[in-house]
Structure formats: C-alpha cells, structure tokens
Amino acid sequence: MNTKISESEIKQAVQEHYAALVADDEEAKSCCARESCCESTGIEEALKGNFAALAGYTEEQISQLPEDVVNNSFGCGNPVAFAEIKEGDVVLDLGSGAGIDVLLASKRVGPNGKAIGVDMTPQMIAKARKNAAKMGINNVEFRLGEMEAMPVESNSVNLIISNCVINLSPDKDKVFGEAFRVLKPNGKMLISDIVAKNLPEVVKSDIESWAGCVAGALEEEEYLEKIRRTGFADVHVVDKVKFDLAVLENSCCDLSDALGEEVMAKVVADLDKIEVASIKVSATKPG
C-alpha cells in the first residue's frame, strides 16, 4: 500500500464516514453509537445503553439534551466538564458534530454569551442546527468550515473546546495555529483527543483508520509540543484514560471498528505494543 495519503483524501474519507453516521436512513452506525453496544463486556448494563456516559457526560447533562444529540455523540471525552466556562463567554467547539458540546456550553455562557460550532460535514451542521432549534436555544451558531481555516474572527473567542476531532486533521499545526489566532489574549483551549504510541505503519497509511480516529493520533509528547510551538503557554494534560485494547478486541466495540478488518488482521499480533489513550489538554494564549 502507498504510505502517502493526500490531505484531500483523508478529509474526504472523514467527511463521508461521519456523514454516513448521521444519515436518516443509516442503520449500521458505528458500534459504540448503538444502544446494543458492548454487550460482551458488560459495559452496556453499566451505561444503560448510553455511549455518551462512557465519554464522561453526566446523567444530568444527558437528560437536558434531545435523544438525537446523545445518540450522535462520537467523542472520546467531555471537555465541557473540565472547561472553566463563564457567563458571557464566547466558546468555540472544533468539530462540533451534532452539537452536544455546543448545546451544553450554551447553558453555561448564558444569554449574553455565545457558543459556536465549526464542522466540515454539511450533514452534521444541518443536524446540529435542527437540534438547537428543537431545544429553542438562540445563543448558538453552527458554521460550516475546516479547523485548518476556521470561519471565525481573530481574537474573538474566550475558550476553545474540542472532542476527539483534532486527531482527524492531517495538518495539526494549522489547527493549533488557527486556534491561537481566534482566541483572545488570555483565552484558553481545553480539548479532548486521542493519542497513540507504537502505531504500525500499516495503520498510519490506511485511509479507513484515519476516519476511525486512530491513524492520525500522535504520540502524547509530540501532540503537546505542537501546541507549545504554536505559542500557547501552560500546556498540560489534565486527565488521561488509557484504552485496554485486549478488552476492545473481544467486544462489539472492537478495534476493527476503527481500523477495518484487513488492517486489524495485520496488527493483531502487535496489540500488546500499541498504546491508545484519551487525553484532555489545557493551554492558554498569553495576554
């Protein structure tokens, strides 16, 4: 396989993947978005069929949202739980999807604040706008665009959040550069994302694995260093959850959902070397 995948190929694959997940007639959604998820591991009973709970959303938060928002949450964490959102803030969510984090943030910023979501998939933007209208929320805005060229004014945002999306970008330097641009001085960034160690080349060069949030995952220190080089200060990990790949391999939420069966077959012998984790990173734009 050609190990060089173009940025346009990656973005197209990611866009098509997530557009399919929210299609009205799509029955075969990703395993972990289904209510029958993870029966073989016993997780289903603990989560009461709710994948959003696995990502760190509380029962109180979930109860505030339409079922459609919760069922179409594909993140790896709950950045809103860690973010210091204040009344009147302007909050920007990168890769906002169906809108779960934007809608939760909107309640924290109040009527004088604003929550903005940016996503490159038109179907996601349409679904998010529909969900906001269903909830009668007026202090939100969903904008179609890419993280590498955000449709957001410079120095206009108090806080940036993101939930398991930046790993999907083929040019993370541009993403962090844009994040730095749109933040106000002393503004903060609190993002959840996937990091990985010892990924085989066959994974990094597989287009399906990019859409599955694995191939584009950087090693933790490389990820943090990219943020520092952009100009951010006080860059640190505030929370980290390691994934047990052996457990995932034997559940309906197995790693082949992210890698594809062909790639999974090639790396199964090296699973004990691969490390995958969800981290929450905090960073500040100096004043």
Least confident window among 53-67, 112-126, 246-260, 268-282: 246-260
CATH number of 7-284: 3.40.50.150
Task: Flag whether pLDDT at 47 surpasses 50.
Answer: no
**Tell me, what's the pLDDT at 208?**
73
Least confident window among 80-89, 193-202, 216-225, 260-269: 260-269
Q: Which residue has the higher pLDDT, 264 or 111?
A: 111
Task: Flag whether pLDDT at 53 surpasses 80.
Answer: no
- Strand 114-119 with 140-144, pairing: parallel
Task: Flag whether pLDDT at 249 surpasses 50.
Answer: no
Could you tell me the pTM of the whole model? 0.80
User: How many CB atoms are closer than 10 A to CB 211?
Assistant: 22
Task: Flag whether pLDDT at 46 surpasses 50.
Answer: no
Q: Residue ranges per domain, the chain?
A: 7-284
**DSSP code string of the chain:** --S---HHHHHHHHHHHHHHHT-TT-----GGGSTTTTGGGTHHHHHTT-HHHHTT--HHHHHTS-HHHHHT---SS-HHHHS---TT-EEEEET-TTSHHHHHHHHHH-TTSEEEEEES-HHHHHHHHHHHHHHT--SEEEEE-BTTB-SS-TT-EEEEEEES-GGG-S-HHHHHHHHHHHEEEEEEEEEEEEEEES--HHHHT-HHHHHTTSTTPBPHHHHHHHHHHHT-EEEEEEEEEE--HHHHHTSTT-THHHH-HHHHHHHGGGTTT-EEEEEEEEEE---
Share of the chain above pLDDT 70, in %: 68
**Tell me, what's the pLDDT at 54?**
47
User: How many CB atoms are closer than 10 A to CB 59?
Assistant: 10
Share of the chain above pLDDT 90, in %: 45
**Tell me, what's the pLDDT at 45?**
35
